[in-house]
């Protein structure tokens, strides 16, 4: 009822709500034609971020089980609209979690395994799957605050759900320990520490970029990239970055907003032009190298993976708002990263800080101090870049382990 009410005012929620009513029709159309002996793997994730975590797992299963059928469901339109994968045979919105709906859909699809990403768990979906002896797997499971709060309502709502899952894969040892303690002895052999399969996803994407575009860190131009920026991060670092540009005439900036808009681009243009710093809005990545402006505002989505290989340092947005954005893509390009304090929910951020390939700031002046140290000390820049690549290398191959564990009985 809440979703229905919100859908009146928000087109994304409305699209997701309408899409759920089309799910049964899509499944009927697809799975009525499927042979009864087909191996069917149902992957479910909340949004696009969780999808990126399971993308290499889907590829791994499709490689090992060539004739398998992959069903992919989403809760959010951000995932449904942006996930395009040749290994996925059928893509739908997660059906409404009513007992009778889920029961009839599972009878229709007859999946061999249901694989969840991170935390988008649904009570009837899990409970009915267990009743029908369908294995369920949770990838990238994380500990939650309510696990240890016995006075919390959520503590008791989620406990039977976690206990009903056949296998749970966590990213780090601490999450495995906390989850084991939460679900108790009844299912303690179901929790395994595996690592994060998303590293394999960024490694695979990096391999698609031509080697001619992959210069060693010291051979790149003196460019600072602001990546996935929102207004909270912008307000912390922008004025400091402009003053730094005024003192360092050889520095260039590339700015990529988390959600580019004309209003945001015009605001950024005005901030730089009033200080006589040349600025251009780029609508195509092909025009990037030909543009001689000191500041380039990227007005397209999906260009970051290539841009990371062109710059020396990246500030990653989100750390002063909802949480720092993707840190793996810059790391695979050997790029030192700087980000705000809201990173504790992201294991890769903790790893980056521990191996000294990235830096956390609390205020804008700290950002300039770190930037200055990196851009004016080739040895430190080189060591930080090597640490970033080392982090990626250490975490490669996780998706293969996850695939083997999913396919084993």
Query: Domain total for the chain?
Result: 2
Cα gap 343→337, rounded to integer Å: 13
271, 312: one domain: yes
State the residue for tokens 């979906």: 125
List, for residues 136-179, the tens digit of each pLDDT value.
999 999 999 999 998 899 999 999 999 999 999 999 999 999 99
The pLDDT value recorded for residue 187 is 56
Q: Same domain, yes or no, for 190 and 253?
A: no
In this prediction, residue 279 carries a pLDDT of: 93
Are 306 and 316 in contact by the 8 Å Cβ rule? The answer is no
Give the pLDDT of residue 283: 86
Reported residue count of the chain is: 409
- Number of C-beta neighbours around residue 301 at 10 A: 12
Q: How far apart are CA 327 and CA 340, in angstroms?
A: 12
4 contacts: CB under 8 Å, gap ≥ 6: 17
pTM across the whole model: 0.85
Alpha-carbon distance of 217 to 404, in angstroms, equals 36
Contact 134, 112 (CB under 8 A): yes
What local confidence, expressed as pLDDT, does residue 405 receive?
94
Beta bridge partners of 257: 229
Contact (CB, 8 A) for 55 and 27: no
Statement to judge: residues 28 and 161 lie in one domain: yes
Is-contact 191 170, C-beta < 8 A? yes
For 366, residues 6+ apart whose C-beta sits below 8 A from its C-beta are none
Domain of residue 158, CATH code: 3.40.50.11720
d(CA 200, CA 221): 28
Q: Are residues 160 and 27 in the same domain?
A: yes
- Per-residue HEC secondary structure of 153-219 comes to HHHHHHHHHHHHCCEEEECCHHHHHHHHHHHCHHHHHHEEECCCCHHHHHHHHHHCCCHHHCCCHHH
The pLDDT of residue 185: 67
Range of the domain at 334: 205-394
Query: Residues near 323 by Cβ (< 8 Å), separated by ≥ 6?
Result: 342, 343, 345, 346
If asked whether residues 257 and 305 sit together in one domain, one would say yes
- pLDDT for 293: 92
Residue 221's CB is within 10 A of a number of other CB atoms, namely: 12
- Please indicate, yes or no, whether residues 28 and 86 belong to a single structural domain of this protein: yes
Q: Which of 256, 318, 326 is nearest to 285 (CA)?
A: 256
62 and 24 both lie in a single domain: yes
Q: Are residues 53 and 170 in the same domain?
A: yes
**CATH number of the domain where residue 242 is located:** 3.40.50.2000
Q: Which residues of the chain have pLDDT under 50?
A: none
Same domain, 183 and 212: no
Please indicate, yes or no, whether residues 351 and 372 belong to a single structural domain of this protein.
Answer: yes
pLDDT of residue 274: 94
Q: What letter would DSSP give residue 90? A: E
Inter-CA distances, 206 with 94, 236, 310, 318, 325, Å: 31, 30, 13, 23, 18
Question: What pLDDT shows up at residue 189?
Answer: 67
Q: Are residues 244 and 385 in the same domain?
A: yes
Q: Clarify whether residues 20 and 157 are in a common domain.
A: yes
**Which pairs from 257-260 meet CB under 8 Å and 24+ separation?**
257/228, 257/229, 257/230, 257/297, 258/228, 258/229, 258/230, 258/317, 258/318, 258/325, 259/230, 260/298, 260/299, 260/300, 260/301
Sign, CA dihedral 355-358-360-361, equals: positive
Q: How many CB atoms lie within 10 A of CB 258?
A: 18
Q: How far apart are CA 256 and CA 225, in angstroms?
A: 8
pLDDT value for 336? 97
Tokens matching residue 117:
């990403």
Q: For residue 259, what pLDDT is reported?
A: 86
Classify 347 as helix, strand or coil: helix
Amino acid 86: pLDDT: 94
Long-range contacts from 6-14, C-beta under 8 angstroms, 24+ separation = 12/76, 12/77, 12/78, 13/77
């Amino acid at each position: 009822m809440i979703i229905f009410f919100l859908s009146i005012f928000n087109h994304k929620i409305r699209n997701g709500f309408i899409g759920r009513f089309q799910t049964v029709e899509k499944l009927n159309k697809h799975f009525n034609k499927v042979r009864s002996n087909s191996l069917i793997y149902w992957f479910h994730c909340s949004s696009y971020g969780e999808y990126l975590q399971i993308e290499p797992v889907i590829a791994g299963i499709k490689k090992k089980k060539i004739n398998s059928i992959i069903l992919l469901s989403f809760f959010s339109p951000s995932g449904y609209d942006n996930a395009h994968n040749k290994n996925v045979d059928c893509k739908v919105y997660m059906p409404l979690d009513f007992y009778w709906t889920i029961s009839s859909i599972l009878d229709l699809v007859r999946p061999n395994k249901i694989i969840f990403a991170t935390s988008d768990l649904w009570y009837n979906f899990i409970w009915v799957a267990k009743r029908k002896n369908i294995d369920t797997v949770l990838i990238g499971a994380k500990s939650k605050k309510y696990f240890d709060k016995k006075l919390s309502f959520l503590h008791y709502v989620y406990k039977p759900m976690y206990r009903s899952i056949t296998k749970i894969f966590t990213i780090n040892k601490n999450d495995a320990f906390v989850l084991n303690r939460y679900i108790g002895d009844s299912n303690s052999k179901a929790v395994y520490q595996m690592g994060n399969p998303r590293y394999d996803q960024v490694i695979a994407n990096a391999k698609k970029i031509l080697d001619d575009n992959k210069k060693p860190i010291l051979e790149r131009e003196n460019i600072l990239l602001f990546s996935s920026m929102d207004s909270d991060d912008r307000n912390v670092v922008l004025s400091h970055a402009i003053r730094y540009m005024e003192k360092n005439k050889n520095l260039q900036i590339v700015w990529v907003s988390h959600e580019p808009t004309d209003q945001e681009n015009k605001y950024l243009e005005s901030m730089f032009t009033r200080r006589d710093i040349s600025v251009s809005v780029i609508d195509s990545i092909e025009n990037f190298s030909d543009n001689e402006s000191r500041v380039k505002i990227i007005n397209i989505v999906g260009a970051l993976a290539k841009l990371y290989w062109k710059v020396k340092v990246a500030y990653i947005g989100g750390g002063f708002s909802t949480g720092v954005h993707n840190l793996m893509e810059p790391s695979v390009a050997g790029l030192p990263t700087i980000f705000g304090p809201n990173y504790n929910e992201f294991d890769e951020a903790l790893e980056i800080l521990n191996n000294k390939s990235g830096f956390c700031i609390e205020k804008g002046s700290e950002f300039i101090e770190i930037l200055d140290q990196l851009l004016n000390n080739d040895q430190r820049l080189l060591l930080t870049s090597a640490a970033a690549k080392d982090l990626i290398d250490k975490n490669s191959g996780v998706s293969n382990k996850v695939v083997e564990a999913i396919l084993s009985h």
